[in-house]
Amino acid sequence: MEVAATVEEMRALRRRFEGSVGLVPTLGFLHEGHLSLVRAARQRDDRVVVSCFVNPTQFGPGEDYERYPHDPERDLSLLRPEGVDAVFLPAKEEIYRDGDATFVEVAGMDDLLEGAHRPGHLRGVATVVAKLLHIVQPHRAYFGQKDAQQLVVVRRMVRDLHLDVEIVARPTVREPDGLAMSSRNVYLSPQEREAALVLSKALRQAEQRFAGGERDGERLRTAMRELIGQEPLAQLDYVSVADVETLQELELVEGAALASLAVRIGRTRLIDNVILQS
């Protein structure tokens, strides 16, 4: 496994790779969810590249950029047994140089879900993914379903810019008790960790109502809000039952829908989602 710290080092490695290349973009501080993406790439591609970069442009003022978990040696130790060919570990100054003035923005997402609650976040995601795709030139890039809106944004960007890469989505990986795996889970105290289960419980409530025949979007949203309201440590940002492609809220679910939510448990903001489909 080789490690590249600069764009030129990563490009030099890429020129040596033959066959298909799979990229797993991450913020680092890896967990089993990230490793499941690595294993999916290993199964489909001849070469696997993992990027570990805490992207400053997707964090807003007052968010946790400065304290986001960061342990490159730990990440490398987790990746070595997985058959990864290269790890891209750039510094902030390598990705965003003085004078850079170009950003990528997918119109129509700014007032929806994460876009509404984290101004600039999705532009930061689209920009850094575009840069990574340009640097690594993968045939496929692998993303987890947990960050559902990011996945929608990246797919739309790839389509609109005619980028020659396949975006592969993989299911959310959960702890045995249902909590979606997240690097931010490390922030939670034992009491908060227990309270955080309200996210997956609320989504299961929506799934159960949907399986029972409920198709009214607002009733499904209300069921999730009420369950979250029963947890004293939970502060709700949003609940949503939306179209899986446009993320517009649905009054009536006629096909598939994305049920998603964002909840603050103490100082920690967590997101989760499930696809509702017959």
The predicted-structure confidence for 162-190, as pLDDT tens digits, reads as follows 999 999 999 999 999 999 999 999 999 99
What percent of the chain has a predicted confidence (pLDDT) above 90?
99
Over residues 78-88, mean pLDDT: 98
pLDDT in tens, 148-164: 999 999 999 999 999 99
pLDDT in tens, 215-262: 999 999 999 999 999 999 999 999 999 999 999 999 999 999 999 999
Catalytically annotated residues: 34
Structural domains of the chain, with CATH: 2-170 (3.40.50.620), 187-276 (3.30.1300.10)
Q: Which residue from 146, 149, 200, 183 is spatially nearest to 268, judged by alpha carbons?
A: 183
Over residues 100-108, mean pLDDT: 95
Over residues 201-220, mean pLDDT: 97
- Tell me: pLDDT of 89 over 90: yes
- Given its phi and psi angles, is residue 137 left (phi above 0), alpha (psi -120 to 50 degrees) or beta? left
| Residue 76: predicted pLDDT | 98
pLDDT in tens, 7-16: 999 999 999 9
| Residue 278: predicted pLDDT | 85
Please state, in angstroms and as integers, the Cα–Cα distance from residue 130 to each residue in 4, 157, 217, following that order.
18, 8, 34
Sheet hosting strand 234-242, strand order edge to edge: 234-242, 257-265, 268-276
| Residue 51: predicted pLDDT | 98
Q: Which residue from 182, 142, 143, 26 is spatially nearest to 89, judged by alpha carbons?
A: 26
pLDDT in tens, 108-136: 998 899 999 999 999 999 999 999 999 99
**Model-level pTM?**
0.96
| Residue 110: predicted pLDDT | 85
| Residue 4: predicted pLDDT | 98
Residue 43: pLDDT band with limits 50, 70, 90: very high
Q: Which long-range contacts (CB under 8 A, 24 or more apart) does 76-81 make?
A: 76/1, 76/3, 78/30, 78/35, 79/1, 79/30, 79/38, 79/50, 80/1
Cα separation, 126 vs 108, whole angstroms: 13
Average pLDDT over the chain, rounded to whole?
97
Over residues 188-204, mean pLDDT: 98
State the CB neighbour count (10 A cutoff) for residue 211: 10
